[in-house]
Homo-oligomer: A and B are copies of this chain.
Amino acid sequence: MILSGLLTSVAINFALCVIFFTLYSILRKQPSFYKVYAPRMLAEGIASVRRPRQFHLSRLLPNAGWIKNAWHPTEEQLLSYSGLDAVVFMRIITFSFKVFTIAGFVGIFILIPVNCSGNQLQDVDFINLTNNTLDVFSISNVNNGSTSLWIHLGAVYFVTIIVCCLLFSEYKYISTKRIDYFCSSKPQPEQFTILVSNIPVSKGSNVGNSVENFFTENHADTYLSHVVVHRKSKVWTVAHALKKLYKKIFKIKKAPTQQQFTRDGFLVDSNGKVKKDKSREEVRAAFVSFKSRYGAAIALHMLQSNNPTQWRTEQAPEPQDVYWPFFSSTFMRRWISRLVVIVSCVILTVLFLIPVFIVQGLTNLAQLETYFPALKGILTMSIVSQVITGYLPNLILQMSLKIVPPIMKILSSQQGYICNSDIERSACHKVIWFTVWNVFFANVLSASAVNLVFIILEFKEIPDKLAISVPAQASFFIAYVVTLGWTSTSSELFRVIPFIGTLISKPFSRNSDNVTVPSFPYHKDIPKVLFFGLLGFTYFFLAPLIIPFLLVYFSLAYIIYRNQLLYVYAPKYESGGKFWPVVHDSTIFSLVLMQFIAFGIFKMKKLPYATSVTFPLPVITLLFNEYCRKRFLPIFMAYSTETLRKKDREDQTLPEMPRLLRQVSEAYQDPALVPLSYSSSHNSLREPLIPVAEVRG
């Protein structure tokens, strides 16, 4: 990429950000756009679209009051308002900000002067030099064999140690928060319930009896009740599909909703109870509730049966978090689904190399000219070539990457998870590895694109290849930070698609009351933040110029995501900070990748001693990771006896406990199977945080 291309990209994106910010600060004050910019406020009745208001000129002027509002709330307030997952997400950003402030300081004030003092690149002729001015600031400019490379090695060591310390304290903080959050929570159905699947049923019995017998025999002291899971029966499903088809053909206009149809399958008898008619059949799974949290935990962690594929136990998800479709699956089917999904992910990853190669083709203009000689005339125009090499590649990449999180979520949902939060966490994993592979490795190693898979099979040469390719891509990734970091995050604030949606639907819809409050797409945004972290780690000692761009991104992200968490997104479930181990692992991966690149760089720069001194780094980092896995990970897998017992003892004093326990099993009913629409009562814990006045800031 040529320097002017990069500058063009920065300019375009900066302009876009300014436009988004300005528009947002005006539009958010228009009551007709509350639906887009403060749906959560609307839903909670703090703001109202319909209230007629006097017109003030200030409504049309952009201002920055919202920044203050977003900055203001403390972490405690955010926790009580948006849950622990939101806090964890914000801490990813602050953690990254801290790390890259330190790394940036080292990079800008120590490494850049060292890099500039070298003259390795002076052999390059002048025209190339202007095109690669940025390389003067990078490690490529340090002379081969120069002792000043030891400073880079020192920086790598320093940052590794700092990051490990920060990771440790962060893991500790979040695990404490997780336990505190659990301790301070009111009794919830999922705390007393487990999901039992693959229930063996003897002939002449049914699932309900089987569960009842097993648990009264083996968990007599703690067993409370159970709810057998049902699904629509196959015969009914076919009949229903035919009926639907029939209605569709003859009354296209009055299309009935799926929801109503599902309810059609039920007959409510005179007592108002659901009569189990042929529309549903038992599934060999049940939600089993216990009298205490500890009792539920025991049933969860102990092997129940002599055949480990039967009576399989899982922690019950929150009632509103249950993903019903997968309950009908057997152990084998869930397992095979998982394998199929893994294979699909691999195929998707390979197919995605196509847009990546197009992008790389654009950054190498000369190559493009060779393939399409007809374009030569246009490409010689300065502005066109700048847009094409600077802005276009990242735009294509951004568009292609947009479709990845939804696809990964669909794949994850087929993997046999029983709750949406697990699906989202699994999708988050997939998106991270997809991004690292397809954006980082595919771009960096695209010189030998077709052989990409084979490169990985030749272990020895990976550090060398990375050492050559990574520094060369510095300006591409700066452009990437600017496009996918700055602009994409600003467009998140502006909410482009819902905004357009509202504009289009406005003339057609009455000013109705039903506001859909979206939930935060963790599987889309966590990988994004983590990937910028990876770029920061790998480039801070190679081309420290990337760091200021990253710091701007993290600052933007901090304020924008906070704003969105407060005004736009409402939590749909609470995983209790279970996203943090994902963050920890991928940060460790970034660190090790950085160390491998350092290894390759020192080897290439002919500094054998430094190469050997680099070697202990990944070993130490991985040992540190292993220690953290032992020290903290179990906390995210299960609550301790200590905690559970304490909570149970506290509960005994609660007067409402008997009533709560009665409600526990009623909480788990497939919304598609109950006659009345299921209404979530799950936000009961959270109090509105921001007074009405502030919303209209």
B630 & A302 in contact (Cβ 8 Å cutoff): no
Segment at the interface with B among A67-75, A437-445, A573-581, A631-639: A631-639
Q: How far is the CA of A218 from the CA of B298 in the complex (A)?
A: 13
When chains A and B are docked, how far (Å) is the Cα of A132 from the Cα of B240?
Answer: 74
Residues of B within 8 A of A304 (CB): 640-642
Count chain A residues whose beta carbon lies closer than 8 angstroms to a beta carbon of B: 41
Give the contacting residue for A634; candidates B308, B632, B645; CB below 8 A: B308
**Contact status A339-B623, CB under 8 Å:** yes
A642 to B305, Cβ gap below 8 A?
yes
Is A627 an interface residue, CB under 8 A from the partner?
A: yes
A627 touches B335 (CB 8 A): yes
- Chain B's closest residue to A623 (CB) is B339
From the candidates B297, B454, B459, B630, name the one contacting A308 in the complex (CB within 8 A).
Answer: B630
A179 within 8 A of partner (CB): yes
Q: Is the CB of A303 within 8 A of B638?
A: yes
When the two chains form their complex, are residues A308 and B179 in contact, meaning their CB atoms are under 8 A apart?
A: no
Looking across the interface, which residue of chain B has its beta carbon closest to that of A301? B301
Q: A458 an interface residue at 8 Å Cβ cutoff? A: yes
A370 at the interface (CB under 8 A from B): no
Find out whether the CB atom of A179 lies under 8 angstroms from the CB atom of B642. no
Which of B218, B335, B623 lies in contact with A630, CB distance below 8 A?
A: B335
List residues of chain B with CB within 8 A of the CB of A631. Answer: 307-309
Bound-state Cα–Cα, A298 to B221, Å: 14
Q: In chain B, what residue has the closest Cβ to A637?
A: B303
Which residues of chain B have C-beta atoms less than 8 A from A339's C-beta?
623
Q: Is A306 an interface residue (CB 8 A)?
A: yes
A460 at interface, CB cutoff 8 A: yes
Choose among B217, B299, B643 the residue that contacts A306 (Cβ–Cβ < 8 A). B643
What sequence of 0s and 1s flags, for each residue 527-561 of chain A, a beta carbon within 8 Å of any chain B beta carbon? 00000000000000000000000000000000000
Q: Specify the chain B residue showing the minimal Cβ separation from A304.
A: B641
Q: Which of A218, A297, A308 has its CB near the most chain B CB atoms (within 10 A)? A: A308
A623-B339, A645-B218 known; A179 and B638 CB under 8 Å? no
Complex contact A640–B217 (CB within 8 A) = no
Q: Is A457 an interface residue (CB 8 A)?
A: yes
B457 touches A303 (CB 8 A): no
Complex contact A635–B459 (CB within 8 A): no
In the complex, what's the smallest C-beta–C-beta distance from A593 to chain B, in angstroms?
A: 19
- 1/0 per residue, CB under 8 A from B, across A261-304: the answer is 00000000000000000000000000000000000011101111
Which B residue sits closest to A634, measured CB to CB? Answer: B308
Q: Are A309 and B630 in contact (CB under 8 A)?
A: yes
Known: A218-B641, A460-B457. A635 touches B306 (CB 8 A): yes
The reply to whether A638 and B218 form a contact with Cβ atoms under 8 Å apart is no
Instruction: Give A602-641 interface residues, CB cut-off 8 Å to B.
Output: 623, 627, 630-635, 637-641
Interface centre among A301, A633, A639 (most CB of B within 10 A): A301
Contacts of A307 in B (CB 8 A): 631
**CB proximity of A528 to chain B, nearest CB, Å:** 31
Do A638 and B306 touch (CB < 8 A)? no
A287 vs B640: C-alpha distance when bound (angstroms): 20
Closest residue of chain B to A629 (Cβ to Cβ) is B308
What residues on B are CB-neighbors of A633 within 8 Å? 308
Asked if A303 contacts B627 (CB within 8 A), the reply is: no
Closest 10 pairs (CB-CB, A-B): A308-B634, A303-B640, A301-B301, A457-B459, A302-B641, A303-B638, A218-B645, A218-B641, A304-B641, A306-B640
Listed A/B pairs (15) with beta-carbon separation below 8 Å? A217-B645, A219-B641, A302-B640, A303-B634, A303-B641, A305-B641, A306-B635, A306-B642, A307-B631, A308-B633, A308-B635, A309-B630, A309-B631, A454-B460, A457-B459
Q: Which residues of A contact B (CB under 8 A)?
A: 175, 179, 217-219, 297-299, 301-309, 331, 335, 339, 454, 457-460, 623, 627, 630-635, 637-643, 645
